[in-house]
Structure 1
Amino acid sequence: MNAPRDTPASRRVRANGDGTVYQRKDGRWEAAGYVLAPGNTRRRIRVYGTTRKEALAKLTEKIATSNRGIPVPSAQGSVAAYLTYWLENVAVYHLRENTHTRYTAVARLYLIPGLGRKKLAKLTAKDVRTWLNQLRTTCQCCTRDIDARRDRPRCCATGQCCHKLLSPLTLTYIHSVLKSALEHAVREEEIPRNVARNVRTGTPRPRRFEPLTADEARQFLTAAQGHRLHVLFELALHTGLRKGELLGLRWEDLDLDTGTAAIRRTLQRTHAGGLITLPTKTRAAERRIALPARCLHSLKLHRELQQTERDRTGAKRPATGHVFTTPQGKPIDPTNLTRAFLVLLDKSGLRRIRFHDLRHSTATLLLEQGVELVVIKELLGHAHIGVTATVYAHVRLRLQREAIDTLSTALDGPANDEPARNDGYDPPPCGAIVR
């Protein structure tokens, strides 16, 4: 019997399903095999290596991933092409118009210039991290040619860089837009994993806000008494409603007999539709809140005033049903409300704050009065109590310090002369002295 001859390395017999490995004319090794593709189909792929072992290892890894049920990425285009597809065909139907506009601006200004040329299937976490670090340390005037469009250049064109860097909150927002786009690519089985999730940008510091103190809140309400929209400012400070929620309120949402209000919608200005009424952003924001007696009385007077103004102006169009309107009965533009609010602050002699800080003032004053955090969470319409706890952590810390000081005062007080009752619990032999 003849001994079997050694089979050449390029022609060794492999098991069925293991693929083939052979050497190309250029000296490289090529391995080919069938793997799982999107749509529960099979597709033949090819990998290359400088040695047979390297090519075979790459193919074995692809087949092992396929055997776990993970399809091979089908994305062959660039990141820029996919971002354009995602914004025009996916995000536009799932995001509000203003949010979609911000996402589009982020993609145009940062994502596409930084990562647009890379292949979507070959994008790595290292690429994302390198790009974010570059954004974090690069002057935006120089990168986006902002100085060239100014009438009086003051940065790159003058040779003195102003070092206008992006804030940590902006970097986090840009990173979140990229994560959202890649997450949809994973769901469509274009890529096997979301590499942006493996990159940490750090937790940015929350926005600093300056809520009104109790004395300032009383001063603000006193100055608002003669204002046409004093009911709106009063309701904002007593309930913590957002600007859009206040302007979107309808009389049908209010039950003045039981003293409740149903928060179902919000009023916003969009680029395409102008002033439009939208449902609340989250399910938690759709809520029913209790109204204080002071606001109930003011709302009843406001409804009579609104009808008087409508009769005086002779409005022919049907009433919109909004609680807060212009003298002509039209919805109030959020920008105009902000202007009126700032004028009222100047008139009352208070420092300038944002309208949204009235909401923060409500939560801060409630916390200082000892109201439970879960009650404030329901009133403000936060999705999770962790949001409430995070935003107002500094207030809770101050209350904790006051509570600890109160306890220390009690412990440092004079000892009680009455004999202690023996209830069966003896003190430890060496008790620690609390000071």
Structure 2
Amino acid sequence: MTTPGDTPASRRVRANGDGTVYQRKDSRWEAAGYVLAPGNTRRRVRVYGTTRKEALAKLTEKIAASNRGLPIPSAQGGVAAYLTYWLEHVAVHHLRENTHTRYTACVNRYLIPGLGKKKLTKLTAKDIRTWLNQLRTTCQCCIRRIDARRDQPRCCAIGQCCSKLLSPLTLTYIHSVLKSALEHAVCEEEIPRNVARNVRTGTPRPRRFEPLTADEARQFLAATRGHRLHALFELALHTGLRKGELLGLRWEDLNLDASTAAIRRTLQRTNAGGLTTLPTKTRASERRIALPARCLQSLKLQREQQQREREAAGTAWQDSGHVFTTAQGSAIDPTNLTRAFLTLLRSAGLRRIRFHDLRHSTATLLLEQGVELVVIKELLGHAHIGVTATVYAHVRLRLQREAMTALGDALNRP
């Protein structure tokens, strides 16, 4: 008669629902049991170990998670397959076209070559951290063969590495795209957790910009006088509107009697639709702003000028309803506006800056005039005042120094 201690380990009876454990012919131990799967169904899983105790521990862990209501991951493919699925079936419905284009370029250029061969369920924070560290120190000109595609190679292709490294801001962007994709995989119960959240890339320094000084701003406005888009440049420098918001402005958005403008839309060029009117960048960007007296006068002259252009164009006029249009009435391409802006900078003898730096110039000049941060935040359409405070921290620091100097002068007086 055998006792429980004499029963072979592979034949021990386990309680109902605890699964089975047995030794395979290759000497490994296999444990199998039913756990919760996506869709509130049950699925039989198998785990393996070099010992019975190891296989049983793995199965017990899965059953315990199942009892807590956590479905077992169902993803069997690689990271590349999931990222492709996420871009084509998920992100495309939630992102603007230009943002989706940037996400696609990021996935195809960095994520798939670096992590695409990994199994989605086996991707770890260590894998991501190791890959990001490698990406941080790898010359992109060498690895992407940028120089080899030039007509006359001048660096990496001829053995002279140019050390073209990715900026911290780009690395943070790549990491954020991966986090977004894995976050959706968690929502779809493909993986139990977002391992990319356990990786820290550090906070990149804000992109440096060189706003116009008060003297340069006056010089620029003087150079725009007589230009057919003088009202646009004056409005940009007085209100800090984005390029797309200026070009998307319609006459119906203006109330010249009340001196206000409603910012409801933005004009962008997309690959599929060409020049397209879209909602504002964020919900906070949809706002109503006050118009200064100088801009009111310029807008009235702009309306008169547009009427003359309408009469001159005759039947060729395209009534788009926009405040700022071409001589034929159609919307202005953002690239053409940038080209005209750079031409004006050269004619004024000013340094080259981005059009977006007009927006930074507005905020900087307002801060230097003592305008409260919350007022600037509402004017610029930032979602949170923390964004305004972070972007213009250098200006506030300079104002603090000036204030301390003024206080010191006051305290030193007899």
TM-score range, shorter chain: over 0.9
Question: Structure 2: which 5+ runs fail to align?
Answer: none
CA deviation vs aligned residue, 1:42-76 (integer Å, no higher than 9, x gap): 11111100011111111111112222221111000
Q: 2:354 maps to which residue?
A: 354
* Bigger CA radius of gyration: 1
CA deviation vs aligned residue, 1:194-253 (integer Å, no higher than 9, x gap): 111111111111111000111111111111111111100000000000000000000000
Equivalent runs, 1:389-408 vs 2, <5 Å: 389-408=389-408
Partners of 1:104 and 1:315 lie apart in 2 by 42
Partners of 1:146 and 1:318 lie apart in 2 by 43
Percent of aligned positions that are identical: 85
Q: 2:171 maps to which residue?
A: 171
Q: 2:229 maps to which residue?
A: 229
Q: 1:375 to 1:31 in 2, by over 3 A?
A: same
Does residue 100 of structure 2 align to residue 113 of structure 1?
no
CA contact 2:317–2:328 (8 Å) conserved in 1: no
Deviating runs (4+, > 6 A) in structure 1? none
Q: CA deviation at 1:8?
A: 1.9
Question: Structure 1: which 5+ runs fail to align?
Answer: 415-435
Q: 1:136 maps to which residue?
A: 136
CA deviation vs aligned residue, 1:278-325 (integer Å, no higher than 9, x gap): 111210011110000111111111101100111012144551110000
DSSP-derived class of the 2:378 partner: helix
Q: CA deviation at 1:162?
A: 1.3
Equivalent runs, 1:263-412 vs 2, <5 Å: 263-412=263-412
Q: 1:63 maps to which residue?
A: 63
CA contact 2:318–2:330 (8 Å) conserved in 1: no
Please state which structure has a larger fraction of its residues in helix: 2
Matched to 1:13, the amino acid is: V
Matched to 2:282, the amino acid is: T
CA contact 2:145–2:157 (8 Å) conserved in 1: no
Q: 1:237 to 1:27 in 2, by over 3 A?
A: same
Partners of 1:205 and 1:314 lie apart in 2 by 52
**CA-atom RMSD in angstroms:** 1.4
Partners of 1:155 and 1:185 lie apart in 2 by 41
Equivalent runs, 1:11-30 vs 2, <5 Å: 11-30=11-30
Q: 1:154 maps to which residue?
A: 154
Q: 2:83 maps to which residue?
A: 83
What TM-score, normalized to structure 2? Answer: 0.97
Matched to 1:101, the amino acid is: T
CA deviation vs aligned residue, 1:3-25 (integer Å, no higher than 9, x gap): 66532211222222221111111
Does residue 44 of structure 2 align to residue 44 of structure 1?
yes
Q: 2:102 maps to which residue?
A: 102
Matched to 1:12, the amino acid is: R
Q: CA deviation at 1:157?
A: 2.6
DSSP-derived class of the 1:314 partner: helix
CA contact 2:76–2:119 (8 Å) conserved in 1: yes
What TM-score, normalized to structure 1? Answer: 0.93
Q: 1:111 to 1:280 in 2, by over 3 A?
A: same
Q: 1:183 to 1:58 in 2, by over 3 A?
A: same
CA contact 1:315–1:329 (8 Å) conserved in 2: no
CA contact 1:265–1:278 (8 Å) conserved in 2: yes
CA contact 2:248–2:322 (8 Å) conserved in 1: yes
Aligned residues: 414
Q: CA deviation at 1:332?
A: 0.6
Partners of 1:8 and 1:181 lie apart in 2 by 48
Matched to 1:133, the amino acid is: N
CA contact 2:34–2:44 (8 Å) conserved in 1: yes
DSSP-derived class of the 1:340 partner: helix
DSSP-derived class of the 1:275 partner: strand
